[in-house]
A and B are shown apart, each in its own frame.
Chain A
């Protein structure tokens, strides 16, 4: 008898707890009827996240009906595990900052809301306001899944002091002389290299395929050698395109020239995982030249303003070749299951509008809005060169297997540099792995 009373009491207690919880949620929803709360997630870290936070605050101040909460989450360009599990569990954010070239892939897997409807209702000129390549990356099967937020371009940074020490006048590298040949850059780089008694590098001239502290990606050299990474009309990835193969051959030869394992050890010494930004090997003067994007301008200013540096075009295979580079950038998307589509769109379209993009330029990012790009006065002198590079920049193919393709290409890069494997075989393997996935999604 007593026991059943106990069970009954326990049951009642549980019920009352549940009821109390329910009530709390009700009141929260009621008070939220005049101010809509939104959650905005980003995987960006300082200094960019500081700017993003300030932007959210500015937005909140100008929009009394909407309160956006800024939340930093783990993740990266191709890793959206946190977003996926949250969206699946019904606790996803209302806005997310996503690497734009993965939009098609994430849309295909169902993580993103189609914003075409709400966009057309509010602002049908959105598409024409942004540069075309950035806009193309927001599309999947003719629908819009995000808005372009920023863009960037990659150039060759060089340390003037190290170049001078190597016996060259840094003025030779000035962009006004046009792009230099790869051969000439290698000549300088070789003279900057320094080794210790055991033969390990203590200083390097240029590692064109480094991706730990710089942007020596497959796409960088594929585009420099005139490569074509995909055929969008037939939705085929083309990693064995002659230009791409030439780009891979170039980094393979370079690795062999420097000693693949010695290069790797230099990187794990001076750019180990989780290396703090102020210890970046280029910023501390251990690297003579590197491929990198405009955001580095801000890091230099913030962490090592004393650095004597310059920028120029990426080197080209033959004298007289036209310069090449590529542009990427991020986007604002609305994850699946968002309950306040109108407000969320209001927020992302502000972030990706003139006011938002202009604020984001503060931490050295290029806008995607044509009118902002057209106004040279809003860029500082260093940034202007990056903007000019956009004129001839390529961009990654917007395919629904973008992240998988990226990882496959990266793997092939390791195969040809560290292992000195066969270039064509490594790239053929990428096609074999990615094409079936693409076929299933296109």
Chain B
């Protein structure tokens, strides 16, 4: 390294140092600290008491651990694929070549601006079995009413539906992806006699696969951390997280253990189990993606 290079490196590091310090102190340190806590009994106050693997042994026998894991997987398995489909549909609608497209884009994106907690409050009113708009429509169609927040069969699907109101964010990314597909591809397809559907399946979708992969990975990590909606809809989960604990999501259970039961050690153990599960899932998705993601330059 020359003198200038050394000096540039030093100055560069100084300039990014706020981030480096923040990253080390506010992210790396707490992560490692929680690993240490997962082997202790700790209330958040006083000294952590080392208990070896006790927290992990408790965890295996804890019925609420299994339940919260099941709830979270249920949500993720439905919300992520559905989220991709809805986002692509919105993106396609946003990409129509009509004059008022800007207005449509704004309307379609609008629900995503609302914070999740506000949407959750809206959902409570919207889904009321007798007075809510949703059940009013169902009844109008001659269908039975659905108790979206009091029936354990419906509580999780209702959160999956609610999540679709936030699809505007990913839709923008899909829109960018759509705009990035070269026009010539469609033109040559048209000359070859391909219709709209054919072009969609053979050009649009394959060209979007990198964005789909991105959206799945992002959705997976967000899905496993689902919390806010359940927290609001169950009024903070005091006593029970929804009927039959059907909205006790994994992160919600971590929160309850850490702050309601003051079991920081146990909560940390739960966190690390979730971390390992997320890693495994993310890696398998990447591996699986090799067989279907199409990068334009290949």
Can you name the residue of chain A whose Cβ is closest to the Cβ of B58? A436
Min CB gap A334→B, angstroms: 14
Contact between B124 and A84, CB atoms less than 8 A apart: no
Q: Which residues of A contact B128 (CB under 8 A)?
A: 268-269, 272
Contact between A84 and B44, CB atoms less than 8 A apart: yes
| Residues of A82-119 contacting chain B, CB below 8 A | 84-85, 87-88, 105-106, 108-111
Contact of A79 among B41, B121, B236 (CB under 8 A): B236
Q: CB of A406 within 8 A of chain B?
A: yes
Q: Which residues of B contact A177 (CB under 8 A)?
A: none
Q: CB of A300 within 8 A of chain B?
A: no
Contact between A267 and B43, CB atoms less than 8 A apart: no
Q: CB of B244 within 8 A of chain A?
A: yes
Given the contacts A110-B43, A418-B244, A406 and B151 also touching, CB distance less than 8 Å = no
Q: Which residues of A contact B121 (CB under 8 A)?
A: 274
Q: Which residues of B contact A440 (CB under 8 A)?
A: 41
Contact between B149 and A418, CB atoms less than 8 A apart: no
Can you name the residue of chain B whose Cβ is closest to the Cβ of A265? B147
Contact between A269 and B144, CB atoms less than 8 A apart: no
Can you name the residue of chain B whose Cβ is closest to the Cβ of A261? B151
Q: CB of B292 within 8 A of chain A?
A: no
Contact between A404 and B145, CB atoms less than 8 A apart: no
Mask: chain A, 339-369; 1 = CB below 8 Å from B; 0 = not: 0000000000000000000000000000000
Q: CB of B228 within 8 A of chain A?
A: no
Stretch at the interface among B20-28, B160-168, B181-189, B258-266: B258-266
Stretch at the interface among A121-129, A227-235, A378-386, A407-415: A407-415
Contact of B45 among A88, A265, A274, A415 (CB under 8 A): A88
Q: CB of A22 within 8 A of chain B?
A: no
Q: Which residues of B contact A404 (CB under 8 A)?
A: 261
Contact between A268 and B129, CB atoms less than 8 A apart: yes
Can you name the residue of chain A whose Cβ is closest to the Cβ of B46? A110
Contact of A268 among B63, B147, B255, B258 (CB under 8 A): B147
Docked Cα-Cα span, A110 to B44, in Å, equals 8
| Residues of A174-232 contacting chain B, CB below 8 A | 198, 200, 202, 211
Contact between A336 and B45, CB atoms less than 8 A apart: yes
Contact between B262 and A77, CB atoms less than 8 A apart: no
Q: Which residues of A contact B259 (CB under 8 A)?
A: 79-81, 84-85
Given the contacts A414-B244, A414-B245, A429-B63, A407 and B239 also touching, CB distance less than 8 Å = yes
Contact between B235 and A273, CB atoms less than 8 A apart: yes
Mask: chain A, 412-440; 1 = CB below 8 Å from B; 0 = not: 00110011000000000100010011001
Contact between B239 and A264, CB atoms less than 8 A apart: no
Min CB gap B222→A, angstroms: 22
Most chain A CB neighbours (cut-off 10 Å) among B14, B129, B151 = B129
Mask: chain B, 12-45; 1 = CB below 8 Å from A; 0 = not: 0010000000000000000000000000010111
Contact of B151 among A88, A109, A264, A336 (CB under 8 A): A264
Q: CB of B243 within 8 A of chain A?
A: yes
Q: CB of B141 within 8 A of chain A?
A: no
Q: CB of A24 within 8 A of chain B?
A: no
Q: CB of B233 within 8 A of chain A?
A: yes
Can you name the residue of chain B whose Cβ is closest to the Cβ of A432? B61
Q: CB of A3 within 8 A of chain B?
A: yes
Can you name the residue of chain B whose Cβ is closest to the Cβ of A336? B45
Contact between A198 and B63, CB atoms less than 8 A apart: no
Q: CB of A333 within 8 A of chain B?
A: no
Docked Cα-Cα span, A261 to B261, in Å, equals 30
Min CB gap B187→A, angstroms: 53
Contact between A76 and B44, CB atoms less than 8 A apart: no
| Residues of A367-401 contacting chain B, CB below 8 A | none
Docked Cα-Cα span, A70 to B110, in Å, equals 38
Contact between A264 and B243, CB atoms less than 8 A apart: yes
Q: CB of A78 within 8 A of chain B?
A: yes
Can you name the residue of chain B whose Cβ is closest to the Cβ of A264? B150
Q: CB of B50 within 8 A of chain A?
A: no
Contact between B149 and A76, CB atoms less than 8 A apart: no
Q: Which residues of A contact B58 (CB under 8 A)?
A: 436
Can you name the residue of chain B whose Cβ is closest to the Cβ of A85? B259
Contact between B147 and A108, CB atoms less than 8 A apart: no
Q: CB of B295 within 8 A of chain A?
A: no
Q: CB of B294 within 8 A of chain A?
A: no
Q: Which residues of A contact B201 (CB under 8 A)?
A: none
Q: CB of A403 within 8 A of chain B?
A: yes
Docked Cα-Cα span, A243 to B211, in Å, equals 60
Q: Which residues of B contact A407 (CB under 8 A)?
A: 239-240, 256, 260-261
Contact of A3 among B11, B150, B235 (CB under 8 A): B11
Q: Which residues of A contact B255 (CB under 8 A)?
A: 81
Q: CB of B280 within 8 A of chain A?
A: no
Min CB gap B120→A, angstroms: 9
Q: CB of A7 within 8 A of chain B?
A: yes
Can you name the residue of chain A whose Cβ is closest to the Cβ of B150? A268
Given the contacts A264-B147, A268-B147, A418 and B236 also touching, CB distance less than 8 Å = no
Min CB gap A311→B, angstroms: 25
Contact of A269 among B46, B131, B262 (CB under 8 A): B131
Q: Which residues of B contact A202 (CB under 8 A)?
A: 130
Docked Cα-Cα span, A12 to B256, in Å, equals 45
Contact between B63 and A410, CB atoms less than 8 A apart: no
- What are 9 A-B contacts defined by CB distance under 8 Å? A78-B238, A78-B239, A88-B44, A109-B44, A198-B145, A264-B147, A272-B125, A407-B239, A418-B244
The 5 A-B pairs with the shortest beta carbon distances in the complex, nearest first, are A110-B45, A268-B150, A109-B43, A81-B259, A109-B262
Other A-B pairs beyond A111-B44, A272-B125, 20, CB < 8 Å: A3-B11, A76-B236, A84-B259, A87-B45, A198-B144, A200-B145, A265-B147, A268-B149, A269-B129, A273-B234, A273-B235, A274-B121, A274-B124, A407-B240, A410-B240, A414-B240, A414-B243, A418-B243, A419-B244, A437-B263
